Structure 1
């Protein structure tokens, strides 16, 4: 399994790059990487060119920019880029955004229990809300991702409509409900 950290957004609402905002002296993105690391043999950071040197300064080397045809096209472009870079025909990718500093690896452990050949995507549902950017995506959807991006269809929901999705409403996920706290504004922080 390969981890994908989505860390290329503009963070307009937050006011500064969210990946490098800090919680308890650590960058937000490090919490997402820590959640992915125990369950993946490799992690790929998808980011924009202006952030690459900042990640490298922290010792990360597996940082790539969106595929040149899809720069700035959001999370679908990031997931597709990682799948294309890794060129694996039969791999699950664990996806995490950089702005969920309360994310725990236990969330992915629960989702991994639902892996099946019957599904292409595994998405948690917490408090009746789908959480598609904290999910599992199989490499077999790469072609579907490319078609959506080529047609400039960038909504994650469009991908979910075209793939076999397992929506996980496991009660154990409620225990980790803060893991799904997405920080878009400084006021969204639990510690603020």
Structure 2
């Protein structure tokens, strides 16, 4: 069952003050941690979804770069835009670009549930859904289009209208830690 990886890296980083996906943790840019976690599990292709203003900052040696045709329309729009361009994958594993603690083990754990009868596999931590680190089946496309046509941009709007399975993770799972501010980064630097 062919599964592609999507790294969402087109945001404005307004709270951070500059493009946070290029900030480094342990000498690697944040986005590279998501690329590595997906690649280590054999996902192919790995796609970075970004906008034209950020495109030149990415190392594209092992990834496809997809430019959003409309900038800053949110993650649902970006995922939909990528899925429409790739016909082969059944599943798309989505990770954001600001999660430098994501691991290949986390990705592996979610991939084990692809055989389910659901359109999405979404991790949950402390009763909080994590739709930016989740699997979406190609069957989500019609509902994505409907939600976007209703001018709704959040992944939660999609999940309210499709069958999804939740996979619980403990508070100890650090893959969900995202960096939104420079203070966030300073808290985790060695």
- Fold shared per TM-score above 0.5: yes
Q: Deviations over 1:136-191 (max 9, x none)?
A: 0001111111121122101111100111110111xxx3386111101111122222
Would you say the 8 A contact 1:107–1:176 is kept in 2? no
Would you say the 8 A contact 1:104–1:176 is kept in 2? no
Q: Which residue pairs with 1:47 in the alignment?
A: 50
Matched residues, number = 185
Q: Which residue pairs with 2:103 in the alignment?
A: 104
The SS at the match of 1:144 is helix
Which of 167, 172, 181 does residue 185 from structure 1 map onto?
Answer: 181
Per the TM alignment, residue 60 of structure 1 is displaced from its structure 2 partner at its CA by 5.5
Higher helix share: 1
Q: Which residue pairs with 1:157 in the alignment?
A: 156
Per the TM alignment, residue 46 of structure 1 is displaced from its structure 2 partner at its CA by 0.3
Per the TM alignment, residue 63 of structure 1 is displaced from its structure 2 partner at its CA by 0.7
> What TM-score does the superposition give when structure 1 sets the normalisation length?
0.89
In structure 2, do the counterparts of structure 1 residues 62 and 116 end up closer, same or farther at CA, with 3 Å as the change threshold? Answer: same
Per the TM alignment, residue 50 of structure 1 is displaced from its structure 2 partner at its CA by 0.9
CA distance in 2, matches of 1:9, 1:123: 21
Per the TM alignment, residue 97 of structure 1 is displaced from its structure 2 partner at its CA by 0.2
Would you say the 8 A contact 1:93–1:138 is kept in 2? yes
In structure 2, do the counterparts of structure 1 residues 17 and 92 end up closer, same or farther at CA, with 3 Å as the change threshold? Answer: same
The SS at the match of 1:166 is strand
Would you say the 8 A contact 1:91–1:138 is kept in 2? yes
Per the TM alignment, residue 99 of structure 1 is displaced from its structure 2 partner at its CA by 0.2
Q: Deviations over 1:77-115 (max 9, x none)?
A: 111111111023x61111000000000011121112222
Q: Which residue pairs with 1:16 in the alignment?
A: 18
CA distance in 2, matches of 1:175, 1:41: 30
Would you say the 8 A contact 1:71–1:77 is kept in 2? no
- Answering whether residue 65 of structure 2 is matched by residue 63 of structure 1, we say yes
| Structure 2 spans left out of the alignment, 5+ residues | none
